Structure 1
């Protein structure tokens, strides 16, 4: 087995930032000569997402129609998806698997090593957004994810804060931290910045806490919000004061970031935050909720606000809008910090993990090597 993978099977979904993460990484790996098969779980990609994937020469996009683990109706469906993914890996004859849905590592019967990336989970999400005992249907999902984590050869997290939270909840060694990376997506250069605050993401998600921003908009903040208001399962959020733009493609988001002097996120739960990174790359001043992940990534390059204090949030946003020089200065600081989260350290970090996993797997004597992924049979 080679020390560097030649054919990688990577899972993704089309629902949120995992798509951006996977496509960025896959593009760089393909351009370096690796063969990558990108398997989509959950809802089918939107036409603009398909176009973006097809624009990468040599990238194989596979729409599996398999459910995401956090959208499945029961553990049997997760096991079925894992088995189907294992069969796909064997058919493709890959030499490494990168799971952005690590719950599928258990019971899949993968013939090759598995790297799992901890993007988020229901247990840590619930703790951050609600607290207390989880709903019953979260319990089995959390148990399935724990088995998946145990079956991976390596676990990766996009921030140290989320790695620590994951380790505490699942009682496992802290995942290796590889910060996400993003190439800047440039919108049309504006003649001037508008007097607008921009936010974006999965607006239906309680963890994004868009209600706090909507409340600030009710206090006089001109806020525009991009992203879906309805979840894949049909739950819907309503914005009363902010201007809702709906789901936008990457170029349209870049255009709004180019003309908005301020970006805000009052997320209660954010393992990394790719939209924040995109805003920083665009030179927006950042106003963020005071949570551990944002402090880790943006301390000294953003203003932090208690996400429960809407008047303080509104005052901070209006101050920046009324003082373009301060907004520009803080936007420059955000852009400089964003340079730490470029593609080179991101892709280089993942390639190093791939090499380590492959070399460790190859070095194991065949007779002493445990059977792959039997933990959830």
Structure 2
């Protein structure tokens, strides 16, 4: 029996990497599919390479191609898409799944499914006002074209799918396939709430870490932030009140989450939020910004707060052990809905609907 081959694009900068590894592991297990993982942007670090190597049958390809949001011109992005189309042909891929709409701008030999994890246009509308600056406008235009050339569109939440439809004038919203995650901890039963934690790309303005830092000055509990403070696009943040832990490896993150801290995400833009899911799986009480995505996924299992003062008040409420346990247990229960097994089952259904078709958007 000939094994089917999926060319899956990713980057090693944030949550897309985690999503891609979990998906690759599960589609290989459930369908015996060969996954070719094509990495764009900065090369994976040693820990990431080890994680990829641990997945049976995964073939990692470090393409050296630019990311759509760090490329210097539209031509660079189109060239990257063309290179991926050539890779799909040379590798004998049966299907291509890309992680950024602009990468659909090529004549792929097989159907293309675009899973939109984020985009500059929806990011801008969530955190800024006014028209897109020129450097982002051309990236939006490429994404618009790529969305319309894709054979199938998917997003990790209904809220983000709706935002994509409205932002890009799509006839239909993308299908929503929630992300899943392998739990990092077995779920400690120690009393939660000894400190406050946030994780992720601290430099990303959409994560709103400045508000987290402001809240740290308003409570007695220590606030800690794990993640990179500088991004590949030159963005950076310096914390004044919270403790910056820097980029941590998975074992360190697991140790942090096993203590069941109060987990805070004040994000103004979040299409899904894998870091929130990881914290919920560990039984951490959640304090989340009141944005559509978090309401959709965590309503009834988290406290919602937007300003530094509101975050501090929510944290203060969770210093009570009963409240901390109640919300931590609620978060852990809700997190069982989001597994990589469920994500892979859903994606395989869509793969099967596309495999063998002629490309609708080719040429």
TM-score by length of 2: 0.95
Q: How far does residue 194 in structure 1 lie from its aligned partner after superposition?
A: 6.1
State how 1:149-168 maps to structure 2 within 5 Å: 149-168=147-166
State how 1:180-219 maps to structure 2 within 5 Å: 180-186=179-185, 193=192, 195-219=194-218
* 2:87 corresponds to: 88
Q: How far does residue 227 in structure 1 lie from its aligned partner after superposition?
A: 0.6
SS at match of 1:71: coil
* 1:317 corresponds to: 315
Deviations 1:128-179 (Å, cap 9, x if unpaired)?
0112111111110000011111111000000000000000011111000101
Q: How far does residue 250 in structure 1 lie from its aligned partner after superposition?
A: 2.0
CA separation of 1:333 and 1:93: change in aligned 2, threshold 3 A: same
Deviations 1:1-45 (Å, cap 9, x if unpaired)?
x9xx71000000001100010010001112231100000000001
Question: Alignment length, in residue pairs?
Answer: 359
* 2:122 corresponds to: 124
* 1:365 corresponds to: none
Check whether the contact 1:187–1:252 (CA below 8 A) recurs between aligned residues: no
RMSD: 1.7
Q: How far does residue 350 in structure 1 lie from its aligned partner after superposition?
A: 0.6
Q: How far does residue 96 in structure 1 lie from its aligned partner after superposition?
A: 0.3
* 1:7 corresponds to: 5
Q: How far does residue 318 in structure 1 lie from its aligned partner after superposition?
A: 2.1
* 2:69 corresponds to: 70
TM-score by length of 1: 0.92
CA separation of 1:197 and 1:238: change in aligned 2, threshold 3 A: same
What CA distance in whole angstroms lies between the structure 2 residues aligned with 1:120 and 1:193?
Answer: 32
SS at match of 1:12: strand
CA separation of 1:254 and 1:301: change in aligned 2, threshold 3 A: same
Q: How far does residue 57 in structure 1 lie from its aligned partner after superposition?
A: 1.6
CA separation of 1:75 and 1:288: change in aligned 2, threshold 3 A: same
Specify every segment of 5 or more residues in structure 1 that has no aligned partner in the other structure, as ranges: 363-368
Deviations 1:49-69 (Å, cap 9, x if unpaired)?
010000112100110000001
Q: How far does residue 348 in structure 1 lie from its aligned partner after superposition?
A: 0.9
What CA distance in whole angstroms lies between the structure 2 residues aligned with 1:334 and 1:187?
Answer: 14
Check whether the contact 1:188–1:255 (CA below 8 A) recurs between aligned residues: no
Specify every segment of 5 or more residues in structure 2 that has no aligned partner in the other structure, as ranges: none
CA separation of 1:187 and 1:250: change in aligned 2, threshold 3 A: farther
CA separation of 1:190 and 1:331: change in aligned 2, threshold 3 A: closer
Deviates further, 252-261 or 73-82: 252-261
Is 1:354 the counterpart of 2:333? The answer is no
Check whether the contact 1:125–1:269 (CA below 8 A) recurs between aligned residues: yes
What CA distance in whole angstroms lies between the structure 2 residues aligned with 1:255 and 1:51?
Answer: 19
What CA distance in whole angstroms lies between the structure 2 residues aligned with 1:313 and 1:185?
Answer: 25
SS at match of 1:244: strand
* 1:105 corresponds to: 104
* 1:272 corresponds to: 272
Deviates further, 311-320 or 155-164: 311-320
* 1:297 corresponds to: 297
Check whether the contact 1:42–1:66 (CA below 8 A) recurs between aligned residues: yes
